[in-house]
Each structure stands twice: as C-alpha cells, then as structure tokens.
Amino acid sequence: MHDLPIELQQIVLMKERGRFLSKIPYFEQAGQAFIRDLASTSVMYFFPREEIIQYSETITRELFCIRKGTCQILSDDLSEIVGIYGEGMYFGEAGFLFGKQATMTVRAKTHCEILVLDFDKIKSVLERYPVIERQITELQLTPEYYDTLLQSVEEIMKSEEQDDDTLKKKYASLTYQGRRYAKKSKCYIEDFGNFPIYAGAEKETVEEKLLKLSKTKLIPPTPRYRGAILPSNPLYIRWECFRFVLAITVSVNSSLLFAFLHYKKELWILSYILGLFCWIDMYIRLHVAFYKDNLKVDMLETAKHYVKTSFLIDLISCFPWEVIGWMVVSPFDENGFYSNSEALHLYACLRAPHLLQLYRIPLAFSFWQSGIATEKAIVTFAKFFLYCVLFLHFSTCTVFAIACPPADLFGDTSNYLLPMIKHNCSSQSWVYHMDYTFNVVYETATFTELYSISLYFATTTLSGVGYGDIHPYLTSMKMTMVFIMVSGALYCGYVAGTFAAMLANADATRAAFTEKKESIQLFLKSQNITGDLYHNTVNFYAFKWIRTKGIDQDTLFEYLPSSLLGDISTIIYSDLIAKAFGLDIKRKQRRKSVAQNLSPLERTLSGKLDGPFFHKILRKESVDQLETDGGFIRLLARQIRPCLYRANDLICKRNDFGSEMYFIEKGEVEVLSQDELTVIIKLNAGQYFGEGSLLFAEPRATTIRAATNCDLYVLSKKSLDETVKYYPDICKQIKKAAEMKREQLLQRTMDMSKVQKNVSATDILMNDTGYIRLYKHCMAEEENKAKFKDFPFHVRIKSSITQFLISFLLNVIRIHNTTINPESTVRVVYQYTSCLLIIILFWAITYMPSVFDLDRGIFLFTMIIEYIQMFEIILKFHICFYDESGSYISDYRSVSLSYMTRKVGYIYDVICSFPYAFTILHLMNQVSPITFLSIIVYVRTFHLLRILTVLVFMHKEEQSIITKYMHCFC
C-alpha cells in the first residue's frame, strides 16, 4: 500500500478501519477528517494463538484495539488467566496516554487482528486538530483517570491469589530462575523473578478445544461436534499425505488399464481396493472442520461446506463408471467373470474420469509451499519432476490408446495384432509400421517393449516435432499430436521460466547488495575519491557481505510487534546492559566473556569510568528501582543496534565528540596512547567502552582501534534519553551528573592553559625528539663507514660477499613469502584460465577412450596442461583468502597452512595432478606403441577428478560480491 498515492491510501484505510476507530471513546466526538488521518498512522498486527501481545510493567506508547479475536488477561507471572477481552475492546491506555508502565499482561487466545495506535506517531495528527489535542491533554493531566485505570486492573486481578512466593518476586532482582511450566495458563515461562518471558504454550488436544467451544456456547453442546476433525490434526495430515499418493496411484492405474493392460485382473482388483479408500476419504471429508471467520466444527456445517466445494469432483472421480458398460456388455460370459478382453477394454475406457483425482496434486503442493518454513526449492523441484513424469506417462498412454481403441465387442477376438496384450490396432495407425521401424515382432511384443516405443514417440513429440521415424497417419492421431506438441512447448517454457525465476530469487540478495556496492564505487569515482579510502570502503562492503549475507537487522524486525521485538532484544542484550549499568541480573550465558580487571591507571588512560556507571551517578534507591524493574531493560534493549568494524579500522578518535557507547560482542579492540603508536590495553568480548560520551557528551579520551574484525553493539545518547524520560527521578540525576562533569572538564581546560610555559632551546635539545634521533643515526652510520675503510682489503671483500649473500637470501625468502591478492587481475585471469584448461582436459581425456581415437596432438596438449597444473599447485600456496569471520589472511604461513589443510586443497590437487603415466613406463618395451598409448589414456582418467575444483571455484565466485567475472564465465 506504500506505493499508492497518499490520498488513495487514506481512503482505503478509512474504509477498512474508520468505523472501528470511531468507536474508541477517546475519538467518538472526532470528525471524519481526524479519523481518516488517524487511520493512516495506525498499524494492523496479526497475532497467532497463544502469543503475548503486551507484558505488564513494560512501557510502550501504544493503544491496542481488538478488531477480531479474543484475548486473555494473565497474571503478572503468567501463571493464571484472570480475564478475557473480546472484539471491540482495547487496552494499553496507561502507556498510550500517560507514558506509564503497562498494567496487565495480555495474550491472544485465538487468532487476533490488533489495530495499534502509537501516541508518538499521532502527535503530528493532533497538532492539526487543536480541540482534540486539548481534550487529550486534559485527560493526561487528570490523575483521577489514571487512578481509575489502576483500580479497574486491581479489580480484575483480585481473583489471583498472591501467595508469599509471588510477593517476594515483586521485590526480587532480575535473577534468572530457570524455565517453568504454568498449569493454569498452560504455557512455559523463562523466569527472571518478577519479569517473566513467555516461552510458548502447550498445544491443546482436539477434544479440549471442542470442549472449550461447547462451554462458551460458540458451538451447540450436542454430540454432532464430536465427529469433527481439525485440519491441524496430525492423523488427518498423515491421511492427506496418503490420499496424495492414492490419487497418483489411481490415475496411473486407470491410464494403464485403458491404454495397455485392460486384461490384467490384478490391476482391476487393485482399482477396486483403491476405490474403497477413495470412498472412505469422502466420508472423512464430510467431518473436516474449516475456517470461515472462525473455526467451524459443527458436523452439519462441515458436510454442507464439503458438498459445496469438492464433493462433485470427488464423486465423479470415485464412481465406478464401468457399471454403465455392464448394461451394454455383461461382465459374465462362458469363461467366467471379467473374461471378455474387449468388454474389459470398454470398461477401462469408461473409468477415464478417475484421472480427475489428479486435482489434489496441485492443491497439496500449494499447501506445502504456503508455509514460510518450507524449503520451497526442494518442493518446487519435486513438483516439476512429478509433473514431468505424469505428463510423459499420460502422453504415452494417449498416443497408444488412440492407435489401438476398443475393437468389435461381439466380433472375433481370437486373432489379435498384438496377442501378448490383446490389442487390435487400426491399419492406418503408427503401430502397424513398427515392424520395419523398430524391428518389432507383433506376436511376441510385450507391454514393456510397446510402452518404451510409445514413450519414445511421446517424448520426441513433446520436446519438439519428433524425429520423423514415426508418423501419425490417422486424423485423430494428427490432432492429438498437435495438442501434445503445443502442450509440450507451453509446459517446457513454464518449467524453464519457473526454474529461471528460482535461480534469480536465490541470488536476489547478492544481486541487490552488489548493486549497492557498485553504486558506492560509482559515487566515489565521481567525487575523485581514490587510494586507500576507496579500497577501504569497497573492502568494507565485501567484509559486511561475508558476515551478514546482505541481511540488515534494522529492517529485519521491522514488522514485528513491540512484544516480540522486546523479547528478542531482551534475550540478546540484557546481560550487556546489566553489566554496563551495574544492575543485578543473571541469565543464561550467550557468550564467553574474558574477565579482565583493569588497573586504575589503565582505566584513566583508556577513558573508562571506574566501575558500572549507574553506581557512580545514581542514588542507591534509584539503582534498586531499576534492578526490580524489568520494563527498563526491555525498553533500553530495543534501542541497541549492531555494527561491524574491520581489523585496523578506527572506531573512535581522541578528542572527537561522540554520543555512543559500544559493547563488544565478538573480536578485540585496542586502546591507543596519545600519539596513537602504542597499545595501552586490549578489550575483549563482553566488555564495553565509550560510557563517558554516552552519559556526559564529553570528548573521547583515547583513540580506539579494532584489533581484529569486530561485532559491536551501539547505544546512543539519544536512545538512552528516550528510555530514561519515562523515569523522571533518574533522568534528573543523570542530567545533574552530566552538568557536574562538564564543569570539571571546563575547569581542567582552564588549569592546563595556566600551567603552559615557554620552552627554551636547551630544553628542546635535551629532549630526544625525532630530529635528534635522525641526526644521531646519521652520525653513527658515517662513523661505521670510516672504520670500515681502515680494515684490510681481504676483510672488506669477505664482508662484502657475506652481505651480498645475506641480502640475496633475504630477497629469495621475501619473494617466496610473497602472496597474491585474490582481487587482483593476475589471480582472476590465472584461475579462470585454469578452469578453462581443466574443462578442455576433461573433454580430451573422455574423448579419446570413448571414440578409440588416440590423436597424438590432443595427447601432447593434455600433457602440457598437466604440467601447468603442477605449477598451479605452487601458486596456490600464495593466494590470500577471507576466513569465515571476514578477516583478510595475507601472511604466507597462514595462507599455505590453509591450502594444506583444506578438503579440496593440496592433497587433492596432488592426487589429481600426479603423472600416472610414469607408473607404466616399464611396459613401453613390452607392448606395441598403440597398446601402450591406450594404456596411458586409461591410466590418466584419474585426472578427471580435477573437474571438482572447477565446481568448488564457481561456487565460491558465486558467493562473492567482489568479482563479476563469474557471470561472463557462465
């Protein structure tokens, strides 16, 4: 809907939600114009059964309005159900109007449509309607209304017995107490004292659900509902899978009967057994519940629904239509029951409507592909494979059945053209010409042989226009072949298009990310930005792709409701927040953090506060309040955002003004000295920095650099202010501490300016500055040269030769340890050329033994390729790579060790490139040259394994966003 014009959006939303919003008491007196603007700011969320919509003691400025469904009010510890909310009701007024903590926990009892109004979003709407804004403001300034809300909640909660354990939890710190199960509310809970997290509900049985419905009078309390079957019943799902297989079996069996095997009594018996299961399925479907606004389980309604939907097609596809044939030709004759083969052929043709059972196949695949948890590529591949098999099979049966229809029912059936399968075919049909086309002996032609020829005819027709070895002579056959050719062309195009779309969608994320990277490159070039800055920017995108695969966490949870988003954020970030802020919370560990106690001097040099900072700026009562307030951590956790840094990237620079605090999730950062040359300390996963800038907006005390690739979490001052504004006392204390800190910084700056003094030239010379060190170094070098000239001649020659050899060896080692950038043109050209040579080698090695042509030129060329591949092994020891964390590995030792230990690495390349021809050189004088070359050709088939390296290389190139050459290569 975002693509629609604003005016059209408002009209659609007004039509959908306007009447519902006008019934909310706060907006009953508002006009249509206000309701229209209000509808455009509302958001519709769909909650499944047993999902939490709102937690008590959390702060959200949202009003939840129940449009459809039923909700349950749970106790604060989620253990009991204390009330029910129905359609048209609303909750969340405390947070929406007053910015206070939610007063109750609400869970969806059924599938619910919840219309959510965010007060922060409707502020701009209220500004355009002063009268309504004044009414809302007056309501917010009326404490009696808030007290009334609290009293109404207390009335609801009176049914809940608060034992001693519950009262203790009210004042307990947020300590993880494990996972528990609440029997009354039938849900699992991750217990954090007085702040529980919902962990899923226990599924009710069919009988329990129907019994509840009968008690609430949503269905009549009569025995009729007891026969209803829920679509989610595991037994019914298994039956539907069996029915899927049954439909395929019935259709294949019926097609074989009317085309080839009408005389097989075994297939007729199987048909009637399968038909019995079909009738059982029709009876079962009379009792299957269905959804229409809500769950319909009344057996009379389910039966009517089935009759209106698919009863007719099921009846046609299950009815034994051969009984009509019994009226024409009796199934009994002098040889017994079902002994007349021509009558059986007629009966088989009358059973053709049973093929309609195939309608269940696309419905089944559509159901399997509808779930987001389904591996759609596998289901799609299975669907098209099954469609291809069935299409070919039915086309095969059709081309043979038209050529060999049922013969004279009362004529002579002793002389068949195809006696093995009891068929008399038309003299103008293609079957009459098989004797010279395929050397078929009609008297001994079996079902397998005839089915294979018919399959060949159908396949060539479907794939194109045939090969000309089989011609349709009959008019009916020509018309059928035209239909099959057109159908085949359309189906092949459909399959090709679908798979092309699947491949494109499979690479859609990479394509979008690559397009973004290329746009950045184009912008940098247009602004004449080159050098290290250009390469660092491009390499950062490559690093981000390796770590995230194009997933942006900011948009990943964009459509989640606040309750689920709060749960996810709390699970991920609660331990980080508790540690940094000094709150007493313990939960299941997500990571291993390295304990590192910093000395007071290290804390001062790195700009860190000496301890959890809330303990330094807040009173003890305020800290205790936050420790027992789960809403604070939930609210603050939603404000944290992830960020990535590559090794050696500067995270923050000394004296820069910042407003962010960083938590280290993975990696290691370095705190640098003032000259940025010395590493003071290193901070590891689980630690944090930048709290001074977060709280006091002070300049960065030190420069901090990423020592390795790092995953960090960022909390900005703006986000912290958005959170603490709901805690006025704490907000005042933080502002007061920030003002005192700013005064201290100002006083320190003034003191430093007073103590500055003029430095004399003597002081400069006494200090060992960079210029003095350079001068001393030059003087020492000149002194060594003067001493060297006084040495004897042979000593100077010996010394010069020694220095030359040492320099030569160092250069050899340096060249040997040189590595190749994987993004360089040399590497790209070399590896793509290598892939091309491997493909040529694969063709040559398979060509020579297959055609028995030992061409000496081709043989010599393959030998040259093998020697090139041996040289390639040396080069692979020097090609750099990116590891799993996205780090660029360029030192020779790590690169060579990685190549040695890879699965498709050094050992595999040695096996594929080994000169196996040398192992049979001893046979050169024992056999003829032609035989010797033949042996060499077969021995060298071990080199075919080399093709696997091409597939591995292509896969890696497809996963990379650095190179585009792969698309050209393919």
What is the mean pLDDT of the segment spanning 770-783?
65
Averaged pLDDT of the chain: 78
pLDDT value for 594: 44
Residue 607 has pLDDT above 60, yes or no: no
pLDDT value for 322: 87
Residue 344 has pLDDT above 80, yes or no: yes
What is the mean pLDDT of the segment spanning 232-245?
89
Q: How confident is the model at residue 247 (pLDDT cuts 50, 70, 90)?
A: very high
Lowest-confidence range among 89-93, 171-175, 415-419, 753-757?
171-175
pLDDT value for 590: 45
For 22-52, the pLDDT digits (tens) are 888 888 888 888 998 899 889 998 888 888 8
Q: Which among 370-374, 819-823, 841-845 has the top mean pLDDT?
A: 841-845
Q: Are the CB atoms for 51 and 107 separated by under 8 Å?
A: yes
Quickly tell me which residue has 């050719």 as its tokens: 485
Catalogue the long-range contacts made by 883-888 (C-beta closer than 8 Å, 24 or more residues apart). Answer: 884/546, 885/546, 885/547, 885/666, 885/708, 885/709, 886/542, 886/543, 886/544, 886/546, 886/547, 886/646, 886/709, 887/647, 887/708, 887/709, 888/539, 888/647
Q: How confident is the model at residue 851 (pLDDT cuts 50, 70, 90)?
A: low
pLDDT value for 81: 86
pLDDT value for 117: 92
pLDDT value for 568: 80
What is the mean pLDDT of the segment spanning 404-425?
71
Alpha helices, H only, 628-759 = 630-637, 691-696, 717-724, 728-754
Residue 960 has pLDDT above 90, yes or no: no
Amino acid letter, 867: Y
What is the mean pLDDT of the segment spanning 95-120?
88
For 69-104, the pLDDT digits (tens) are 899 888 877 788 888 888 888 898 888 888 888 888
% of the chain exceeding 90 in pLDDT: 8
Provide the greatest CA pair distance for the chain. 135
pLDDT value for 201: 64
Residue 179 has pLDDT above 80, yes or no: no
Q: How confident is the model at residue 242 (pLDDT cuts 50, 70, 90)?
A: very high
Q: How confident is the model at residue 562 (pLDDT cuts 50, 70, 90)?
A: confident
pLDDT value for 498: 77
Residue 748 has pLDDT above 80, yes or no: no
What is the mean pLDDT of the segment spanning 560-572?
80
pLDDT value for 353: 92
Residue 277 has pLDDT above 90, yes or no: yes
Which of the pair, 373 or 701, is modelled with greater confidence? 701
What is the mean pLDDT of the segment spanning 588-594?
45
Which residues does 209 contact at the CB level (< 8 Å), separation at least 6? 230, 295
For 891-900, the pLDDT digits (tens) are 888 888 988 8
Q: Which among 225-234, 522-531, 725-734, 745-754 has the top mean pLDDT?
A: 522-531
Q: Are the CB atoms for 695 and 659 separated by under 8 Å?
A: no
Say if pTM beats, i.e. exceeds, 0.75. Answer: no
Angle separating helix axes 947-959 and 825-851, nearest 10 degrees: 140
Q: How confident is the model at residue 365 (pLDDT cuts 50, 70, 90)?
A: confident
pLDDT value for 354: 92
pLDDT value for 199: 64
Half-sphere exposure of residue 728: CA atoms within 13 angstroms, side-chain side: 3
Q: How confident is the model at residue 164 (pLDDT cuts 50, 70, 90)?
A: very low
Lowest-confidence range among 157-161, 255-259, 808-812?
157-161
Which of the pair, 630 or 524, is modelled with greater confidence? 524
For 305-321, the pLDDT digits (tens) are 899 988 999 999 999 99
Distances (CA, A) of 630 to 101, 102, 956: 10, 12, 46
Q: How confident is the model at residue 945 (pLDDT cuts 50, 70, 90)?
A: confident
Quickly tell me which residue has 């359609």 as its tokens: 87
Quickly tell me which residue has 């007493």 as its tokens: 584
Q: How confident is the model at residue 530 (pLDDT cuts 50, 70, 90)?
A: confident
Residue 225 has pLDDT above 50, yes or no: no
Q: How confident is the model at residue 217 (pLDDT cuts 50, 70, 90)?
A: very low
How far is the C-alpha of 758 from the C-alpha of 559, rounded, in Å? 63
Q: How confident is the model at residue 966 (pLDDT cuts 50, 70, 90)?
A: very low
Quickly tell me which residue has 């969806």 as its tokens: 108
